[in-house]
Amino acid sequence: MKRSNFFLPTLKENPVDAKVASHRLMLRSGMVRQSSAGIYSWLPLGLMVLKNIESIVREEQDKISQQILMPTIQDAKIWKNSGRYSDYGKEMLKILDRNKKELIYGPTNEELVTEIFSNNVLSYKDVPMCLYHIQWKFRDEIRPRFGVMRGREFLMKDAYSFDLNEDDAIHAYNKMFINYLNIFKKMGLKAIPVKADTGPIGGDLSHEFVILAETGESKIFCDSNIFKQSIDNIDYEDKSLVSKIVKHWTSFYSSTQETLDENLYHSLVSSNNRIQKNAIEVGHLFYFGTKYSEPLNASVVNEDGNKIFVKMGSYGIGISRLIAAIIEVFHDEKGICWPESVAPFKVGIVNLRQNEKNCSDISQNIYEKLCSTGVAVLYDDRNEGAGSKLADMDLIGIPWQIRIGPKSLKNNCVELKQRNKNDEVEINISNIVNEVRKKIVKQ
Ligand code: ATP
Ligand code: MG
């Protein structure tokens, strides 16, 4: 993509009402624009990152569930049947259509997915089943703030599992637990599971996945050893391995403020291993048995001919919030420093002297070669000063920068710089494409 054709309205100044780094940087780098409180339009750069995050989530979720797409607007009737129409409170946006039919803009999808299951699955042979979708949600938050971190409209991945018995349902929960660890790892994040409250979703087993950040709105209490653990891809059907891994991760004390047991925390975790910090909730797992399947009649006939209400869990990831969370973790005073897996472009080319034919020819040539090998490149070909082009490139956070100017061209070289490091290296023009490709593949 050439910058001269790319809609990227960057801002030089910090917007006054943006209080946290991610909000400031998303506005300054032209990723989003607010349309009304807690509701945002996504401009090209922001949408590219959103899609990259979606892809990572989809790739992992496809290993353990099937993607569907449910609507944003739901019939109020199913929410009345589950009892949540009144329980959910003011966060739910209620709508009347022209026939005075009551609708809602979905804040979550337990009811709707249970209805789909109940109308279409009759036999135990179709269970276990796990379905997920990636869809916009609306919650009329009392204080939407920090940009897309706490929006009113936000993009969520939500998955729902259906099982015959509690043992299988816990296996579904455990698979999701490991899947989440892998998803966040792929984004370069160290997300940790903490024991959590179930809130209005209900149920009795729940973990939040959180990222440590000063600006986080949750407070967590945990054993620092949990940060030293690592995860790999596994065979999800190996029930005992799945359970062993989850047991290992949950053997370290971790808790939200709501579920904190102060005595237990102090007895299990030695004082120098205690971490009490702010964190951002990026995912949430719930197991709630038959809380929705009973009122909404989601049952199957088992082998013995008996009707069984399925045991369910639900599993959310805040896709749009993750962008803010990643920026909170990966930024410096100049701007964003994207991890490569989510970066909108892998390479940014800065032509430092647009008016000099040699610089422009070589920039264009490197740009074309990189594009033809499938690398996502943003080439800043605008007729602007070098300083402002470099500042913009730093602001938008592309992981690799190729800087092309007369000084290094004298040695037949260009400069290669990693966004989050301070060292620039000169690389011969004839090698630059291969060098960059090697670095990207290695990451
Ligand atoms: P919070 O405690 O932050 O309000 P929640 O516990 O109400 O979130 P869940 O019902 O667990 O949210 O939703 C699943 C995920 O959706 C959350 O883990 C979070 O990442 C994301 N999410 C929830 N509310 C918002 C919001 N207002 N804006 C952006 N993302 C959100
Ligand atoms: Mg939650």
CA distances from 394 to 204, 335, 418 (A): 46, 6, 10
SS3 letters across the chain: CEHHHCCCCCCCCCCCCCCCHHHHHHHHCCCEEEEECCEEEECHHHHHHHHHHHHHHHHHHCCCCEECCCCCEEEHHHHHHHCHHHHCHHHCEEEECCCCCEEEECCCCHHHHHHHHHHHCCEHHHCCEEEEEEEEEECCCCCCECHHHECCEEEEEEEEEEECCHHHHHHHHHHHHHHHHHHHHHCCCCCEEEECCCHHHCCCEEEEEEEECCCCCEEEEEEHHHHHCCCCCCCCCCHHHHHHHHHHHHCCCEEECCCCCHHHHHHHCCHHHEEEEEEEEEEEEEEEECCCCCCCCCEEECCCCCEEECEEEEEEEEHHHHHHHHHHHCEECCEECCCCCCCCCCEEEEECCCCCHHHHHHHHHHHHHHHHCCCCEEEECCCCCHHHHHHHHHHHCCCEEEEECHHHHCCCEEEEEECCCCCEEEEECCCHHHHHHHHHHHC
What pLDDT score does 442 carry?
Answer: 56
What's the pLDDT score for residue 122?
87
Measured CA to CA, the distance from residue 75 to residue 95 in angstroms comes to: 10
Query: Atom of ligand 1 at shortest distance to CA of 282?
Result: 20
The reply to whether ligand 1 has any atom less than 6 angstroms from the CB of 316 is yes
- What whole-number distance in Å separates Cα of residue 9 and Cα of residue 15? 13
Residues 6+ apart with CB under 8 A from 129: 66, 117, 121, 161, 162
* 24 Cβ inside 6 Å of ligand 1: no
| Ligand at shortest distance from the CA of 109 | 1
Whether the CB of 281 sits within 6 Å of ligand 1: yes
Give the nearest ligand 1 atom to 199 CA.
Answer: 6
CATH superfamily of 3-336: Bira Bifunctional Protein; Domain 2 (3.30.930.10)
Q: How long a stretch of residues is the chain?
A: 443
CA dist 410 and 412 (Å) reads 5
Name the residue ranges covered by the structural domains of the chain.
3-336, 347-442
Is residue 216 lining ligand 1, measured as CB closer than 6 Å? no
The bound ligand whose nearest atom lies closest to the alpha carbon of 37 is: 1
Instruction: Give CA–CA dist 304/299, Å, rounded.
Output: 14
> What is the mean pLDDT for each group of 10 consecutive residues in the chain (443 residues)?
98 92 98 97 98 98 98 97 93 97 98 98 94 98 95 98 96 98 97 84 82 96 96 94 96 93 95 97 96 96 94 98 98 97 98 96 98 97 97 98 97 97 94 94 58
Q: Using CA positions, which residue lies closest to atom 25 of ligand 1?
A: 150
Ligand nearest to the CA of 158: 1
Ligand 1, atom 22, residue with closest C-alpha: 318
Q: Which amino acid is at 321?
A: R
pTM of the model: 0.96
Nearest bound ligand to CA 317? 1
Q: Which of 91, 156, 320 to mutate to test the pocket of ligand 1 (most atoms within 8 A of CB)?
A: 156
Indicate whether residue 150 lines ligand 1 (CB < 6 A).
yes
CATH class of the domain defined by 347-442: alpha beta
Ligand 1 contact via 344 beta carbon (within 6 Å):
no
Find out whether the beta carbon of 156 lies less than 6 Å from any atom of ligand 1. yes
Residue 202: the pLDDT is 61
Ligand 1 centre to CA of 158 (Å) is: 11
431, HSE (Cβ side, Cα atoms, 13 Å): 12
Q: What is the predicted pLDDT for the residue at 200?
A: 65
In testing the pocket of ligand 1, which one of 154, 281, 287, 315 has its CB within 8 Å of the most ligand atoms?
281
